[in-house]
Structure formats: C-alpha cells, structure tokens
Amino acid sequence: MKFDIVITNGTVVTCNKDFEIFENGIICIKDGDLVKIEDGSGLQSIPEADKIIDAKGSIVMPGLVNTHTHLPMTLFRGLADDLPLQEWLEEHIFPAEAKHINKESVKIGTRLACAEMIMSGTTACCDGYFLEKDVAEAVFASGIRAVLGQGVIDFPAPGVPDPSENINHAEAYASTLLNTSPLITPSIFCHSPYTCSPETLKKAKAAADSNQLVFQIHVAETKHEYENFQSEHHLTPVQYLDSLGILDKNTLLVHCVWVDDKDIEIMLKQGVNVSHNPESNMKLASGIAPVSKMLSAGIPVGLGTDGCASNNTLDLFRTMDITAKLHKVDMSDPTVMSAIQVLKIATIGGAKVIGLDMVTGSLEAGKKADLIIIKTDQPHMVPMYHPASHLVYTAQGSDVYTSMINGRIVLEDGKLLCMDLEEILEDSRAIGKVIANGK
Amino acid sequence: MKFDIVITNGTVVTCNKDFEIFENGIICIKDGDLVKIEDGSGLQSIPEADKIIDAKGSIVMPGLVNTHTHLPMTLFRGLADDLPLQEWLEEHIFPAEAKHINKESVKIGTRLACAEMIMSGTTACCDGYFLEKDVAEAVFASGIRAVLGQGVIDFPAPGVPDPSENINHAEAYASTLLNTSPLITPSIFCHSPYTCSPETLKKAKAAADSNQLVFQIHVAETKHEYENFQSEHHLTPVQYLDSLGILDKNTLLVHCVWVDDKDIEIMLKQGVNVSHNPESNMKLASGIAPVSKMLSAGIPVGLGTDGCASNNTLDLFRTMDITAKLHKVDMSDPTVMSAIQVLKIATIGGAKVIGLDMVTGSLEAGKKADLIIIKTDQPHMVPMYHPASHLVYTAQGSDVYTSMINGRIVLEDGKLLCMDLEEILEDSRAIGKVIANGK
C-alpha cells in the first residue's frame, strides 16, 4: 500500500492503554486514518508514501484534547484580571459580551482561538457558547476537531434574546449541524444549575439525548454555589442534577470543584464525565477539584483551559504542568498525578469525556490521524530521561512545530497552513481596540 | 551624545517605582548603562546610535531575576519525578551527584542552564552549589549576571570531601572571585539549618559578612523540618536561625514555606530577604509559602525556580503565572498577587533580595542595561489590554526574542550570540546518556 504520509525516526508516545513508547517509531497514514504505528528500528526501508516526515530528534504524540472552552472569549483575554468573581462577571465580562459579542466578532474570536490551539498542540476541543453556529463556521474553516455546544440559559443571551426560545434554538442548531462534517459534532451546553430552571435543564438534556449528544454543564464551581444549593435544596449541586435525572454517560460535568465523597459515588454510579479546569479555578480562586480522588474512583476526567477571560491562554502544555503540581501540593503527596497520568487525561482521557475516544486521543491503528510533533533541540528539553516528564513538566506550546488533524497537516514547521494568521491577529486587535475604548 | 544602542517603538514596561509604562518608549544605552528611558512619541528624530533596535509591536521590560538556582542540576532534569522527597533525594539525586558531578559536568550543566535562562528571559540569577568556582567559569562565559554561592554543608560534597574544610574552602572561593567581573558577585550558600551545625552556620555567616556578601540558606521547606526543629529546639527553623544571630539584610532565606506569624515578625524586624520557589514546593509537595502575607508585612520577596531536579525548567514566565494563580486559590481571594505585583517580584523584587537592585531589575536611568524584548504577534498575546496581564498570564519563555545584559546583546532574534547552543546540547545529551545508563 502507498500511504499518504509516513512519519519516521521520532520518539512516538502512543498514549495507548499500555502507554507504549517507540524510541524510533514509524507512523503510516492513509485517508486520514492511522494505519500502522510501530517500532521502526528493524525496518529495511521506509514504506512508500506521498509525503515522508522525518521526525528525528522529535517527540510524536496524539494531539491534546481541550475539554472545556468558550472560544470567542479569546477577545476578552486579559480584559479583567485579579478581580472577585462576581465583580469580574457582572461589571466586566457580561457587559463586554452584551456590547461586543455578535456573529462577526464570534467568528473572529473563534478563529483566534483555533489558531492558538493548533499552534500550541491541541487538535480537538469541546466548546460551549452562544451563537454557536457562527463558532462552528469558524471552527470548520480552521480544520480543528470539535464538539460544539449551543448555550442554554434562562436569561437573554447573544443570539437568543428570548430565553423561552432557548431549547428550540439549541435543538434547531443541533439538527442543522448534525452530520455536516466528520470533524464537528454538535452538543448542548447548559450554563449551570443556578442559571437554568429544572424544566430547562430537563428539556435541554432530553434534546441532547434525542441525538446522543454530549450534554455539557458547569457545576459545583464555587463554594457560594455549593452552599446555596445546600441551603435551598438540602442537596449538593451534583445531587441536585442527579435528582433531575440528567446525570449519565453523555453528561460532561465541568469544574466539579465542590464535590464531596457522596457526590463522587453518584458520579461514578451514573457514569458521568468530568472536565477539570485547574487554571481557571485557581485564577478565580474557586478552589481545587478533588481530581485525584475522582480518578482513583474510576471517573473519566479530561483537562480544559476554560475561556480566555478566566485563564488566559488555551495552551494545554501549561495546564498539564499546573495540574501535576497543584494536586501534589494540595494532597501533600508528590506521587499523585504523575506525568504519565496527566498526559493520559490530556489526551485519551479528554477524548473519552467528550465522546471521541474511538476517533482520537491516542496513536493506535484504526483511529484518525490527530497528532503533533514536538522539537527537543531546545535547552529546556535536554537531557531527556523520559519523554512524559518533559511533555508535562518542561514543554511549552511553542515547542509544537507540526500538527495534523484527521490526516491533514494544519501546522508545518511552525506555520499555520489553513488559516491566515496575519489577518486573524489584525482582526482581533481591531476588536480589542473597540472593546478597550468602549468598556 | 552618540549612543551604543537605541531601542525604539516598543511598549516599555519599566517596573520602576510607579510602574510606568511607555506605549511608545525610547531607551538609550551607552557603555552598558541605561542613559535615558522615556516616552518617545513626541520625538522629532531617533537619537544617534551605533545600533537601532526597532521594537515595534513588542514589549520591552527588565530581564527577569531568578533568585534561587542550582545551575548544574539541569543535568538531572526529569531524572526522577513524582517521588516522595526522601526517596527522590536519597535514592536518585544524591547518588547521581556523587557519581556524575565533577568539574567538567558542572560546567556543562551550567552552560545548559545559562542557555535556557537567557533564551527564556532571565538576565540575572542567584545560584548555590558545590564546585561553584567551575559554575562561575561557565556563567562568566555565558554573559549572564549572577550571584554565585559556594555551598557549605557538614557532609562530604563534590569538591569538598572533608566537611571540616567547608568554611575555609568557601572563604577562599569568595576572595578569589571578588571583583573579578562586574557581572559576577560571590556569595556563601549554607545548605540548611539541618545539614549544618550551629558553628558552621555562624562561621559561614561571618565569612559572608566579612565581604558584605549575600548569605543564602534553604529554610522551613518541609513540614518535617518544621516539626523537627519544634521538637528538638522548641523553635521554628526561622527562630532557630535568629537565635544564632544570622538573620539580617544580607541573608536570603530560600523557601520559607513553614513560617508562622511570629516568624514573619522576626523576618521583618531583622530585614531578611525571601526567595519564593512555588513550582519546586508544589512538585515536591512541600507546601505553599505565605508569600502574600510576607509582602503585605513589607518583607522583600523574589521568585526562584530552584534546580531542575525539582521543577524542571528555569522559565520564570511559567513561575510568574503559577505564583499568581497558586496564591489566589490558596487564599480563596482572586485579588491577591495581581499581575503587576508578580511582575514586580520577578524583576525589581528579585534584584533587591539578591543585593543587585541598584544595578538591575528595572528600566531606569543609571542602572545597567539588562532587558528583554518580547514579541506579541502570536495568537496568545492578542488582543492586549494591559501588557502586565500578558507577561504574567500568557507569555512563555519562547516569546523572548532579544535579550541584553550589561548593554551586551546576548540573544538576538532568538539566536544565542555568546554561546554555542549546538555544542551545549550535544555535551549535555552525552552526560545524560551516561547518567541514564549508570543510575
């Protein structure tokens, strides 16, 4: 067989079940599929292919999976830092959204986000926002793989001024987007249990279920939320959602900072998935999610950056490093959240929680070719005793020089191939100026 | 006056007392000195200079100051991660040091460290290690500014096999190095209160005092150390050092994780300085230093990375981001450790605690030209509402493309000018191979 692309000579970190690493691996790609991944050191000759990529001195690994984003919010990056959550939200972010978020700006912010993600090693993401159809248009053009959730909230929102239309709007969005591209899967994103009525939550979940879509929801993010549910419902936020019957294997619970042991039991029993966003939780001082406990219990966890208004980057290499360090100090145990465990949740773990683990998240024959190539000829990557250590504790987004999604090269030698970076930066700066003046 | 170098058109973040920022700044340099830093927007013409650097679209700021390193330990980067502190130290790091640390490897590891620091925006550091004369040779060749402390410990150490010679050795080192280069200042680095006797600690401090040198010491790093001192001496580690009379304005206390309110009072009263190493403290699960409290009390604090065996990079941009986020979540307060405060401790604050604040740490006329230029034409730096936010929350070491130390350009457009990067990487990889095989 003549392949489309063959990658040779790299250190291949598969992130498969046995966490196999091939020091001198070979990867063969045809029609967007990973056909063969194996040790290439004994090979007599390189398999025939239209394109050979020599990854000598580099690490090849599955692309990173960002399980929680609000892509257009790149436009608010650094707009309001170091503020109490309510002031940040009510005096800065909500007003900026009301004034500046429209179909055009959403596309520009999303393009900026996709450029940043691709250039820092992310090949798939799970987004939740309003005007998600416009997000989808921009995401589609970027070539990134994505689960894209239309926002549902019982307040007027960009594109859905009448909250009583929120479910209809989300349903129409999902059916329009369904099966339009192999790279894009629609989803429903309920904002939270405190901004949606029980009826809205149940209807939104039913809408997601009718097409087996991922149902995303922010939950148990702050102590305030936790205490409010306890006093109003005598239930934790997680138990409240469970009482509405909306926790199952298609549910993605985002944050889960304030969950107790009983919550973890329920989450495990119902088979829910968790998106962990440590940087956002730290920056907003929300708290530290008991992720190590969840993982030990067997709950699937993926990593997320959250939106750029609260993080402020989409670089998952940074997120991996912080995740490993944060939980060690939080649990007074340097053995928890090892480099390998963190690498797993940033790849196959992330793919699992957004429903894409049959397609992406590891380098295995039969999956799609979503992979990144990382240079190691930099002082911070030398010497190298174990690639997992460097990928988690020293690599940075800018070390990724080539990236492939669904077999298509989207970044080559540091250059974005499928987007006009100059134009994206110019358009984003122009909106930034308007936002800065109009605050 | 004709200047040596003039930098135009950049956004200049001075880190001076008023944290002045010039949107369109001009910086004039002569004989290694900053002669003029001002708003350049009204200028009729660019001052005459041998070299004009157009920093349009970039941020110009003081070079970062790393207040705690063990430079040669870059060779142990990622050798042993995710382990309990004692096992990490006794089964991996100490044996590797005993077997592989010698005059030659120390120079190679130090060169690797200097390359990494310069390429990620650090222009000054404070180091403590053994064989420090060899460290100094390599540091001198790199062009970086440094305070270099010869290690003192009551155990056999590389280069000082007989502990009874440790003070003599350190004194001889310091007097040999004194005034040999405007960039290098000798120092004494006592390992810790639990590895040095009271006599050793007092003698080492006296040796430092005889030349007004910085006296560095690890203290109150772990709960174990804190509890041991309480039970053996009925004093905290900080109080124990105070009882020996070695706390004063030339003392740099490294870590200070386990300090109580009384310790902070003593530290303030004695005028000591603190080096905060959040990433090392997190990765080894040592704890979280009450830095926000120390700063509120008025204690000078700088940032450090610690050695690469426990971090694993020397990239202070990463350290800044983690510092801001860690203390917010630790104190449940998103307003603590603002971007500007973190930027201050990473620059002028760091310079202050290592005794170099009259020379470096801010862009002010009369100081030396230690500065870095950071590109902003990257997705993660757009849009920009405030440069301090991006420098702390989104910039990465690789965004630094030009760096100057003492008026000498050491990094230009991403290329190291004063070191052979290829050779450094090759030499370091070769030692890494030996270490990996000989473990």
Confidence class for position A438, pLDDT limits 50, 70, 90? confident
Q: State the pairing for strand pair B215-219/B184-190.
A: parallel
Which of B287, B312, B382 is closest, CB to CB, to A425? B382
**Alpha-carbon gap: B35 to the closest alpha carbon of chain A (Å):** 32
Mean pLDDT, chain A, integer: 97
Quick check: B439 pLDDT over 60? no
Name which of B285, B328, B431 is nearest A334 (Cβ-Cβ).
B285
A180-234 tens-digit pLDDT: 999 999 999 999 999 999 999 999 999 999 999 999 999 999 999 999 999 999 9
Cβ burial of A429 (10 Å; 0-12, 13-18, 19+) is: middle
Mean pLDDT computed over every residue of chain B: 97
Residue type, B213: L
Task: Give pLDDT tens digits for B251-292.
Answer: 999 999 999 999 999 999 999 999 999 999 999 999 999 999
Q: Do B393 and A312 touch (CB under 8 A)?
A: yes
- Inter-chain touch A334–B287, beta carbons under 8 Å: no
Q: What is the mean pLDDT of residues A97-114?
A: 96
Nearest Cα of chain A lies from the Cα of B379 at a distance, in angstroms, of: 5
CA distance B53 to chain A (A): 22
Residue-wise pLDDT for A253-304, tens only, equals 999 999 999 999 999 999 999 999 999 999 999 999 999 999 999 999 999 9
Q: How far is B154 from chain A (nearest CA, A)?
A: 27
Asked if A384's CB is within 8 angstroms of B432's CB, the reply is yes
Q: What phi-psi label fits residue B160: left (phi over 0), alpha (psi between -120 and 50 degrees) or beta? A: beta
Contacts of A384 in chain B (CB under 8 A): 78, 429, 432
Q: Which residue of B has its CA nearest to A283?
A: B325
Cis peptide before A168 (omega within 30 of 0): no
| Residue B3, strand partner residues | B49
Using a CB-CB cut-off of 8 Å, the residues of chain B touching A379 are: 74, 112-113, 115-116, 119, 421, 424-425
- Whole-angstrom Cα distance, residue A315 to residue A77? 13
Average pLDDT of span B351-375: 98
Size of interface A-B (CB pairs under 8 A): 219
DSSP B88: I
* Cβ contact, residue pair B78, A384, below 8 Å: yes
Q: What is the CATH topology of the domain spanning B64-353?
A: TIM Barrel (3.20.20)
CB distance B78–A378 less than 8 Å? Answer: no
**Secondary structure of residue A128 in the 3-state scheme:** strand
Chain B residue numbers touching A397 (CB-CB < 8 A):
380, 396
Reduced to 3 states (helix: H, G, I; strand: E, B; else coil), residue B328 is helix
Q: Looking at the partner chain, which of B288, B334, B389 has a beta carbon nearest the beta carbon of A78?
A: B389
- Chain A residues within an 8 Å CB radius of B333: 285
Residues in B touching A285 (Cβ below 8 Å) = 328-329, 331-334
- What pLDDT, on the 0 to 100 scale, is given for residue B438? 79
Q: What percent of chain A has pLDDT over 70?
A: 100
- Dihedral angle computed from the Cα positions of residues A270, A273, A279 and A284, in that order, rounded to the nearest 10 degrees: -40
For tokens 């005028």, the residue is: B271
Burial category of A340 from C-beta neighbours within 10 Å (exposed 0-12, middle 13-18, buried 19 and up): middle
What was the pLDDT predicted at A439? Answer: 55
> Tokens for A132?
């998600």
| Closest in B77, B283, B436 to A334, CB measured | B283
Cross-chain Cβ contact B318/A116 below 8 Å: no
How far off is chain A from B189, nearest CA to CA, in Å? Answer: 25
Burial of A306 (0-12, 13-18, 19+ CB in 10 A): buried
Say whether B324 and A283 touch across the interface (CB within 8 A): yes
Q: Which residue reads 């003492």 in tokens?
A: B406
Residue of A120, A335, A380 with shortest CB distance to B82: A335
Which residue in B353, B390, B303 sits closest to B61, CA to CA? B390
B329/A282 Cβ within 8 A: yes
pLDDT digits (tens, 9 = 90+) for A55-72: 999 999 999 999 999 999
In angstroms, the separation between the Cα of residue B123 and the nearest Cα of chain A is 16
With a cut of 70, say whether residue B86 has pLDDT above it.
yes
> Token pair for residue A266?
């329920």
Q: Domain locations in chain A?
A: 3-62+369-413, 64-353
pLDDT at A85: 81
CB contacts of B84 in chain A (<8 Å) are 334-335
Best to test chain B binding among A88, A344, A394, A424 (most B CBs inside 10 Å): A394
A285 closest CB neighbour out of B120, B333, B431: B333
Which residue in A315, A380, A384 is closest to B116 by CB distance? A380
User: How many other C-beta atoms lie within 10 A of the C-beta of residue A330?
Assistant: 22
From the CA of B173, how many Å to the nearest CA of chain A? Answer: 29
Contact flag B329-A288 (C-beta cutoff 8 Å): yes
Are B379 and A74 inside 8 Å of each other by CB? yes
Q: In terms of CA atoms, which chain A residue is nearest residue B415?
A: A378
Q: Which residue of A has its CA nearest to B427?
A: A383
The kind and range of the H/E element at A227 are helix A223-233
Summarize the confidence of residues A369-390 as an average pLDDT: 98
Q: How many residues does chain B have?
A: 439
Q: Which of B69, B74, B81 to mutate to test the interface with A (most CBs of A within 10 A)?
A: B81
Q: Does position A89 have pLDDT exceeding 90, yes or no? A: no
Interface contact A326-B326, CB threshold 8 A: yes
CA-to-CA distance for A189 and A126, rounded, in angstroms?
10
Residue B58 has pLDDT above 60, yes or no: yes
How many whole angstroms separate alpha carbon B50 and alpha carbon B4?
5
Q: How confident is the model at residue B35 (pLDDT cuts 50, 70, 90)?
A: very high
State the nearest Cα–Cα gap between A282 and chain B, in angstroms.
5
Report the complex ipTM: 0.97
Tens of pLDDT, residues A136-187: 999 999 999 999 999 999 999 999 999 999 999 999 999 999 999 999 999 9
Q: Which residue in A155, A250, A149, A140 sits closest to A197, CA to CA?
A: A155
**Predicted TM-score (pTM) above 0.95:** yes
Q: Is residue B252 within 8 Å of B273, Cβ to Cβ?
A: yes
Residue of A nearest to B86 (CA): A334
Interface mutation target, options A222, A257, A385, chain B, most CBs of B under 10 Å: A385
A417 Cβ contact list (under 8 Å, min separation 6): A409, A410, A411
- Residue A69's contacts (CB-CB under 8 Å, 6 or more residues apart) are A113, A125, A126, A127, A128, A304, A305, A306, A307, A314
Could you tell me the CATH superfamily of domain B3-62+369-413?
Urease, subunit C, domain 1 (2.30.40.10)
Quickly tell me which residue has 């740490």 as its tokens. B361
Asked if A397 and B396 come within 8 Å (Cβ–Cβ), the reply is yes
Q: Hey, which residues does A193 pair with through a beta bridge?
A: none
The answer for residues whose C-beta is within 8 angstroms of residue B244's C-beta and 6 or more apart is B198, B201, B202, B205
Residue pLDDT, tens place only, A6-40: 999 999 999 999 999 999 999 999 999 999 999 99
User: Chain A interface, mutation test: which of B79, B82, B424, most A Cβ atoms within 10 Å?
Assistant: B82
Write out chain A residues lying below 8 Å of B286, CB-based: 329
* Secondary structure in 3-state letters for B180-195: CECCEEEEEEECCCCC
Of the candidate ranges A87-101, A164-178, B113-127, B138-152, the one whose mean pLDDT is the lowest: A87-101
Q: How far apart are alpha carbons A124 and A288 in whole angstroms?
A: 25
DSSP B388-437: HHHHHHT--GGGEEEEEETTEEEEETTEESSS-HHHHHHHHHHHHHHHHH
Test A380 with B314 for CB contact under 8 angstroms. yes
Sequence-ordered list of residues with C-beta below 8 angstroms from that of A68, at least 6 positions apart, any chain: A126, A128, A216, A254, A275, A277, A304, A305, A306
A284, A334, A397 member nearest B85 (Cβ): A334
